[in-house]
Amino acid sequence: MEKEQETLRAWKERVARELDRVVAFWLEHSHDQEQGGFFTCLGRDGRVYDDLKYVWLQGRQVWMYCRLYRQFERFRRPELLNAAKAGGEFLLRYAQVAPPAKKCAFVLTRDGRPVKVQRTIFSECFYTMAMNELWRVTGDARYQSEAMEMMDQIVSWVREDPSGLGRPQLPGAPASESMAVPMMLLNLVEQLGEADEELAGISAELGDWCAQRILQHVQRGGQAVLENVSEDGEELSGCLGRHQNPGHALEAGWFLLRYAIRRGDAKLRAHVIDKFLLLPFHSGWDPEHGGLFYFQDADGLCPTQLEWAMKLWWPHSEAMIAFLMGYSETGDPALLRIFYQVAEYTFRWFRDPEYGEWFGYLNRDGKVALTIKGGPFKGCFHVPRCLAMCEEMLNDLLSRLA
Amino acid sequence: MEKEQETLRAWKERVARELDRVVAFWLEHSHDQEQGGFFTCLGRDGRVYDDLKYVWLQGRQVWMYCRLYRQFERFRRPELLNAAKAGGEFLLRYAQVAPPAKKCAFVLTRDGRPVKVQRTIFSECFYTMAMNELWRVTGDARYQSEAMEMMDQIVSWVREDPSGLGRPQLPGAPASESMAVPMMLLNLVEQLGEADEELAGISAELGDWCAQRILQHVQRGGQAVLENVSEDGEELSGCLGRHQNPGHALEAGWFLLRYAIRRGDAKLRAHVIDKFLLLPFHSGWDPEHGGLFYFQDADGLCPTQLEWAMKLWWPHSEAMIAFLMGYSETGDPALLRIFYQVAEYTFRWFRDPEYGEWFGYLNRDGKVALTIKGGPFKGCFHVPRCLAMCEEMLNDLLSRLA
Asked whether the predicted pLDDT for residue A10 surpasses 80, the reply is yes
End-to-end CA distance of chain A: 11
CB contact under 8 A, A306 and B308: no
- The pLDDT of residue B198 is 77
Instruction: Quote the pTM value.
Output: 0.97
- Select the residue of A105, A114, A370 nearest B302 (Cβ to Cβ): A370
Q: Scanning every residue of chain A, which has its alpha carbon at the shortest distance from the alpha carbon of B239? A: A50
Asked whether the predicted pLDDT for residue B200 surpasses 80, the reply is no
What are the Cα distances from residue B402, in Å, to A207, B5, B332, B339, B395?
79, 9, 19, 21, 10
Q: Report whether B95 contacts B108 (CB < 8 A).
A: yes
Question: What span, in angstroms and rounded, lies between the C-alpha atoms of B395 and B16?
Answer: 10
- The pLDDT of residue B196 is 80
Report chain A residues whose CB lies below 8 A from the CB of B97: 170
For chain A, the residues whose C-beta falls within 8 A of a C-beta of chain B are 41, 43-44, 49-52, 97, 105, 108-109, 112-117, 168, 170-173, 237-239, 301-304, 306-310, 361, 363-364, 369-372, 375-376
Residue B100: is the preceding peptide bond cis (ω within 30°)? yes
Question: What span, in angstroms and rounded, lies between the C-alpha atoms of A230 and B94?
Answer: 24
Question: What span, in angstroms and rounded, lies between the C-alpha atoms of B368 and B372?
Answer: 10
Report chain B residues whose CB lies below 8 A from the CB of A51: 237-238
Question: What span, in angstroms and rounded, lies between the C-alpha atoms of B150 and B137?
Answer: 19
- The pLDDT of residue B325 is 98
Q: Report whether A295 contacts A268 (CB < 8 A).
A: no
Q: What angle do CA B36, B41, B47 make, to 5 degrees?
A: 90
- Select the residue of A51, A306, A376 nearest B370 (Cβ to Cβ): A306
Q: Taken in order A332, A335, A341, A345, is the CA torsion positive or negative?
A: negative
CB contact under 8 A, B304 and A372: yes
- The pLDDT of residue B203 is 85
What are the Cα distances from residue A137, in Å, to A63, A90, A144, B397?
10, 17, 11, 76
Which residues touch A339 (CB under 8 Å, ≥6 apart)? A320, A323, A324, A327
- The pLDDT of residue B329 is 97
Question: Which range, A46-50, A171-175, B196-200, is most confident?
Answer: A46-50
Q: How far is CA A53 from the centre of its chain?
A: 18
* pLDDT digit string, tens, across residues A253-298: 999 999 999 999 999 999 999 999 999 999 999 999 999 999 999 9
Report chain B residues whose CB lies below 8 A from the CB of A50: 238-239
At residue A230, φ and ψ (nearest 5 deg) are -70, 165
Transcribe A140-190 into DSSP letters: -HHHHHHHHHHHHHHHHHHHT-GGGG-----TTS--EEETHHHHHHHHHHH
pLDDT band of residue B382 (cuts 50, 70, 90) is: very high
Give the DSSP H or E segment for A229.
Answer: strand A228-230
3-class secondary structure, B296: strand
In 3D space, the residue among A326, A347, A329, A348 whose CA is nearest the CA of residue A337 turns out to be A326
Half-sphere exposure at residue B180, Cβ-oriented, CA atoms within 13 angstroms: 11
- Select the residue of A105, A168, A369 nearest B306 (Cβ to Cβ): A369
* Percent of chain A topping pLDDT 70: 100
CB contact under 8 A, A170 and B115: yes
Report chain A residues whose CB lies below 8 A from the CB of B173: 114-116
Distance from the B34 Cα atom to the nearest Cα atom in chain A, whole angstroms: 18
Give the DSSP H or E segment for B297.
Answer: strand B296-297
| Mean of pLDDT over chain B | 97
CB contact under 8 A, B306 and A361: yes
Distance from the A46 Cα atom to the nearest Cα atom in chain B, whole angstroms: 13
The average pLDDT across B234-262 equals 98
| Mean of pLDDT over chain A | 96
- The pLDDT of residue B1 is 67
* pLDDT digit string, tens, across residues B77-135: 999 999 999 999 999 999 999 999 999 999 999 999 999 999 999 999 999 999 999 99
Which residues touch B215 (CB under 8 Å, ≥6 apart)? B256, B271
Report chain B residues whose CB lies below 8 A from the CB of A115: 170, 172-173
In 3D space, the residue among A342, A339, A366, A370 whose CA is nearest the CA of residue A357 turns out to be A370
What are the Cα distances from residue A1, in Å, to A144, A337, A394, A401?
46, 15, 15, 9
**Residue B283's CB: how many other CB atoms inside 10 A?**
18
Question: What span, in angstroms and rounded, lies between the C-alpha atoms of B349 and A155?
Answer: 50
Asked whether the predicted pLDDT for residue A199 surpasses 90, the reply is no
The average pLDDT across B363-383 equals 98
* Percent of chain B topping pLDDT 90: 94
Report chain A residues whose CB lies below 8 A from the CB of B123: none
**Phi-psi map region of B303: left, alpha, beta (phi>0 left; psi -120 to 50 alpha):** beta
- The pLDDT of residue A203 is 85
One-letter amino acid at A339 equals F
One-letter amino acid at A43 equals G
For chain B, the residues whose C-beta falls within 8 A of a C-beta of chain A are 41, 43-44, 49-52, 97, 105, 107-109, 112-117, 168, 170-173, 237-239, 301-304, 306-310, 361, 363-364, 369-372, 375-376
Asked whether the predicted pLDDT for residue B152 surpasses 80, the reply is yes
The average pLDDT across B185-210 equals 89
Report chain A residues whose CB lies below 8 A from the CB of B363: 363-364
**Phi-psi map region of A291: left, alpha, beta (phi>0 left; psi -120 to 50 alpha):** left
Distance from the B86 Cα atom to the nearest Cα atom in chain A, whole angstroms: 21
Question: What span, in angstroms and rounded, lies between the C-alpha atoms of B95 and B59?
Answer: 10
* pLDDT digit string, tens, across residues A70-97: 999 999 999 999 999 999 999 999 999 9
* pLDDT digit string, tens, across residues B274-330: 999 999 999 999 999 999 999 999 999 999 999 999 999 999 999 999 999 999 999
Report chain A residues whose CB lies below 8 A from the CB of B171: 113-114
pLDDT band of residue B402 (cuts 50, 70, 90) is: confident
Q: Scanning every residue of chain A, which has its alpha carbon at the shortest distance from the alpha carbon of B51? A: A238
- The pLDDT of residue A183 is 98
* pLDDT digit string, tens, across residues B249-269: 999 999 999 999 999 999 999
DSSP state of A358: B
- The pLDDT of residue B294 is 98
Q: Which of B301, B361, B371 best tests the A interface by mutation, with the highest count of A CBs <10 A?
A: B301
Beta-strand relationship, A361-362 and A368-370: antiparallel
One-letter amino acid at B234 equals E
| Least confident interval from A72-76, A164-168, B103-107, B187-191 | A164-168
| Least confident interval from A299-303, B15-19, B92-96, B195-199 | B195-199
- Select the residue of B116, B306, B371 nearest A310 (Cβ to Cβ): B306
**Residue B231's CB: how many other CB atoms inside 10 A?**
11
Distance from the A18 Cα atom to the nearest Cα atom in chain B, whole angstroms: 25
CB contact under 8 A, A173 and B115: yes
The average pLDDT across B36-44 equals 97
Question: What span, in angstroms and rounded, lies between the C-alpha atoms of B325 and B335?
Answer: 9
Question: What span, in angstroms and rounded, lies between the C-alpha atoms of B127 and B210?
Answer: 19
Question: What span, in angstroms and rounded, lies between the C-alpha atoms of B391 and B22?
Answer: 13
Distance from the B242 Cα atom to the nearest Cα atom in chain A, whole angstroms: 10
The average pLDDT across A314-323 equals 98
pLDDT band of residue B197 (cuts 50, 70, 90) is: confident
- The pLDDT of residue B201 is 75
At residue B53, φ and ψ (nearest 5 deg) are -120, 110
CB contact under 8 A, B50 and A239: yes
- The pLDDT of residue A86 is 98
